[in-house]
Structure 1
Amino acid sequence: MDIAIKILQFFLCFTILVGIHELGHFIMARVFRIRVEKFYIFFDPWFSLFKFKRGNTEYGLGWLPLGGYVKIAGMIDESMDKEQMKRPVQQDEFRAKPAWQRFLVMIAGVVMNVVLAVAIYCGICYTWGDTYFSNKDARWGYDFNEAGHELGFRDGDRILSIDGRPVDNVQEIISSLLITEDDRRVEVERDGRAVTLNLPLDDLIAMRQKKGYEGFLALRFPFIVDSTVSAAASAVLKKGDEILAVDDLRGAEFPDYQRYIRSRAGDSVRIEALREGDMVLTMTLPVSEEGLIGVAPRQDLYTPRTQEYTLRESIPAGIRKTGEVISSYWEQLKLIVQPKTKMYEELGGFIAIGSIFPAAWDWQDFWMKTAFLSIILAVMNILPIPGLDGGHALFTFWEMISGRKVSDKVLEAAQYVGMIVLLMLLLYANGNDIYRFFIK
């Protein structure tokens, strides 16, 4: 059932993204009175699930759920329909239109994906706001996993800055360590003093490849008194006191203190507590036969921050969020093509994309991922690779500035080269998926 929900989310998201992208091409083509022969969601080799014709356009749903397409008359595209190019040019064909119109048709899909991302982020901001945990609220620091310890972090470290830049959103800590082409310099507060950690790029790459970022850090939960339920505890402790030590156990978290106190059932323990930040108290408390000292801990130590938006405020917030995600993804792309980062080893295909969706349906999470994938689709399609929108747009842009149209033979050859490159990337990315999920 969990896998079914993941698959359903993946296909719903993919259908929305491809449909919107192709709708952009379709609308712009119709604006310039260019004939669109087919508009399909999913591909339809040999047959389609259903189809109907309205005007000159055939609309349909293919059976191969790997994308979708519009077939624009008089254009060399992935259909490689060269026969149409041998016929006399018709006024309603793509090739008959001015270069600037063809350019706009080419980039319309990318623009629609960006517009979709903006609309989704605006809706998310208005409906749910922007919820995050602030690094400023991590007053007791973090616990780190093994990968964090290997990098030099110690439990209790409170992160102050990365490369001299203060970090507010906790999620930015992980992304800053993963998306980098250089060493990182992290300043932490440790035992009341600032300590600088120099993290070599090779160590960060090793951490990323071992997926050490999973559970990299977690908020610490100290033993803070919420209430007292025994006479002995009520006489010496009050709400807000922080337990610093129990016998020789010091600097631990509540679960560790709790386990130790239970091991002393029927005996007594020496407690050291901090009151109002500067008063240290020492006391001895009896431990009941059940392993309790009559103190209830606070459970609500951390509260995420939520920035709420009015309808008017959500629009610039959505635009700003889209810009931030585009910038971040572009930085990742630049790192992928740099061999020293080894990020190319982590390219993923359909399985990796599908795995990002949760096993339980969550509309906020679904729309967040749909907006993110819409931006990925836009950025990937605008790359100047023949076969992608960016490749077509590049040839058209060259015609606009030079006044010379690229020949059909060159376009056909470029289309073949682009399709081969894309197929190789597709095989590589999905091969990585098979290796990571089923072999490694």
Structure 2
Amino acid sequence: MSIVIMVGQLILGLSILIILHELGHFLAARAFGIKVEKFYLFFDAWNVSLFKFTHKGVEYGIGWLPLGGYVKIAGMIDESMDTEQMAGPPQPWEFRSKPAWQRLIVMLGGVTVNIILGILIFWVLTMRFGDSYIPNSAAKYGIVPGEVGKKIGLQIGDKVVAINGKPFERFDDLTSPQVLLDNTVFTILRGTQTLQISIPRTILNDLNDDIEGFISRLPRSKFVVDSLEPKSNAVKAGLKKGDSIVMANNHPIVFWDELQAQLSVNKGKQVELGIRRNHELVTLKAQVTPEGKLGFYRAKTDFPDIKIIKYGFFEALPIGAQRAWGTFRDNAKGIGKIFRGDVNPGKAVRGPVAIASLFGGTVDWVHFWTLVGFLSMVLALMNLLPIPALDGGHAVFLIIEMIKGKPLSDKFLERAQIVGFVILVTLMVFVFGNDIVKLVMKK
């Protein structure tokens, strides 16, 4: 059932984005009196559609090939490669008959709608839920680095007091895209020492989509046993709510990460636990699962309060817009790092399979719309890439036409469209293959 929910959310999210993107082209074309012949969600390859109807001269439908969507604009060399139409004399209602500036607006209509949608979603989410974070100043026990963080010199309990020489407010800034994508230097307080630790430009290659491998999203904390999973090894061992685990195989336990470390090295084995219960010390034996768990949830003690900021209707707009543009900017930086060779494309690129896993197997509408807003900005960025067959490629050719004062030849545009199509198919094969390889490797 979870797979059905995951796939359903993926299809719903992508359908919203594709329909609104194509609607941007559609409305811009109609505004300039350009005839639109088709409006399709997904591709009706070889003229095979799952559903279609005609209204006011436009064929609306759903194709069988779920790799995007399109609007077929009269007099334009596009995905349809309808060269017969282009062979006739230009008609006043055709794309090619309009001034270059109008055609440029039509080509950028989809990207514009995606950007507006992204800003709108983040605006509404900010207005509804505000902004919550853990103040860095309240993380009094420091950080818990993962294996990648330890390799670059971070240690458990380090306190990061500055990023690139500047104090920062939010603990989650430590794992932000700005840290991972820029040439970042942490100022570390370790006991009485102050250290500078640089974050490698290539760190994303080592993380494998797991930010916890760098630094845990939560500060170091103490804990007590909270609820227990029914029939779990924790229940069988006799753990109870309110217990404090102070020893594991004769290793003192104070913090949650210390218990996790002991469970990790004893996967599938039995551990002896020292428990403080009602001011008494109790010894229990528990079986660790192959995943390194006992089967209980923790209650964090002595943990910093989460700071919540609420915004009004107008206050939330610039915050939402900043989040949307931050997504756009960070992904642009990521693409730049791929081209510079700092990041392996196989590590950074996500396809439909990976995106579906991001939606998850349960319905969480806040998470759903957050992800749709994120993907809307990513879709806008990807369509702006100067690749023939994408909006950005068409826009580049139109800008060249405006500079030259005359259009590029139809033959050139046809060949460029073919080249762009080959590039896109190659990218799709790579993305799908990369998703499948990652899925198999996880198993």
TM-score grouping bracket, smaller chain normalisation: 0.7 to 0.9
Please say if residues 133 and 303 of structure 1, whose CA atoms lie closer than 8 Å, have aligned partners that are also in contact. yes
Residue 190 of structure 1: aligned partner: 190
CA RMSD, 1 decimal: 3.1
Residue 207 of structure 2: aligned partner: 208
1:238-387 → structure 2 map (5 Å cutoff):
252-253=254-255, 263=274, 287=280, 299=301, 301-343=303-345, 345-387=347-389
Residue 98 of structure 1: aligned partner: 99
Residue 424 of structure 2: aligned partner: 422
- Greater radius of gyration (CA): 1
Name which of structure 1's ranges 205-214 and 123-132 shifts more when overlaid on structure 2: 205-214
**Change in CA separation of 1:288 and 1:252 when aligned onto 2, cut-off 3 Å:** closer
Residue 14 of structure 1: aligned partner: 14
**Whole-Å separation in 2 of the counterparts to 1:381 and 1:87:** 30
**Whole-Å separation in 1 of the counterparts to 2:423 and 2:83:** 20
Please say if residues 336 and 344 of structure 1, whose CA atoms lie closer than 8 Å, have aligned partners that are also in contact. no
1:35-46 → structure 2 map (5 Å cutoff):
35-45=35-45, 46=47
Q: CA deviation at 1:265?
A: 7.9
**Change in CA separation of 1:343 and 1:181 when aligned onto 2, cut-off 3 Å:** farther
Q: CA deviation at 1:169?
A: 3.1
Which of 376, 399, 402 matches 1:400? 402
Q: 1:293-346 CA distances to partner (integer Å, 9 max, x unpaired)? A: xxxx97362332222111121222222222222111111111111124334543
Q: CA deviation at 1:65?
A: 2.2
Name which of structure 1's ranges 306-315 and 5-14 shifts more when overlaid on structure 2: 306-315
Q: CA deviation at 1:249?
A: 8.0
Name which of structure 1's ranges 375-384 and 205-214 shifts more when overlaid on structure 2: 205-214
SS in 2 for 1:67: strand
Name which of structure 1's ranges 186-195 and 415-424 shifts more when overlaid on structure 2: 186-195
Please say if residues 135 and 168 of structure 1, whose CA atoms lie closer than 8 Å, have aligned partners that are also in contact. yes
Please say if residues 187 and 196 of structure 2, whose CA atoms lie closer than 8 Å, have aligned partners that are also in contact. yes
SS in 1 for 2:181: coil
Please say if residues 9 and 368 of structure 2, whose CA atoms lie closer than 8 Å, have aligned partners that are also in contact. yes
Please say if residues 221 and 300 of structure 2, whose CA atoms lie closer than 8 Å, have aligned partners that are also in contact. no
Question: Structure 1 length normalisation: TM-score?
Answer: 0.81
**Change in CA separation of 1:67 and 1:140 when aligned onto 2, cut-off 3 Å:** same
Write the letter of the residue equivalent to 2:136: N
Please say if residues 337 and 344 of structure 1, whose CA atoms lie closer than 8 Å, have aligned partners that are also in contact. no
Q: CA deviation at 1:76?
A: 0.3
SS in 2 for 1:196: strand
Write the letter of the residue equivalent to 1:432: N
Q: 1:17-64 CA distances to partner (integer Å, 9 max, x unpaired)? A: 000100000000000010000111122223222222111211112222
**Whole-Å separation in 1 of the counterparts to 2:383 and 2:177:** 26
SS in 2 for 1:356: helix
Please say if residues 131 and 304 of structure 1, whose CA atoms lie closer than 8 Å, have aligned partners that are also in contact. yes
Please say if residues 142 and 155 of structure 1, whose CA atoms lie closer than 8 Å, have aligned partners that are also in contact. yes
**Whole-Å separation in 2 of the counterparts to 1:39 and 1:190:** 60
SS in 2 for 1:159: strand
Q: CA deviation at 1:289?
A: 6.0
Q: CA deviation at 1:119?
A: 0.7
Please say if residues 159 and 186 of structure 1, whose CA atoms lie closer than 8 Å, have aligned partners that are also in contact. yes
Q: CA deviation at 1:380?
A: 0.6
**Whole-Å separation in 1 of the counterparts to 2:30 and 2:256:** 66
SS in 1 for 2:186: strand
Q: Gapped runs of 5+ residues in structure 2?
A: 225-245, 263-270, 285-298
**Change in CA separation of 1:197 and 1:7 when aligned onto 2, cut-off 3 Å:** same
Residue 233 of structure 2: aligned partner: none
Please say if residues 131 and 306 of structure 1, whose CA atoms lie closer than 8 Å, have aligned partners that are also in contact. yes
Q: CA deviation at 1:134?
A: 2.8
1:71-90 → structure 2 map (5 Å cutoff):
71-90=72-91
**Whole-Å separation in 1 of the counterparts to 2:361 and 2:209:** 23
**Change in CA separation of 1:254 and 1:319 when aligned onto 2, cut-off 3 Å:** closer
Write the letter of the residue equivalent to 1:88: P
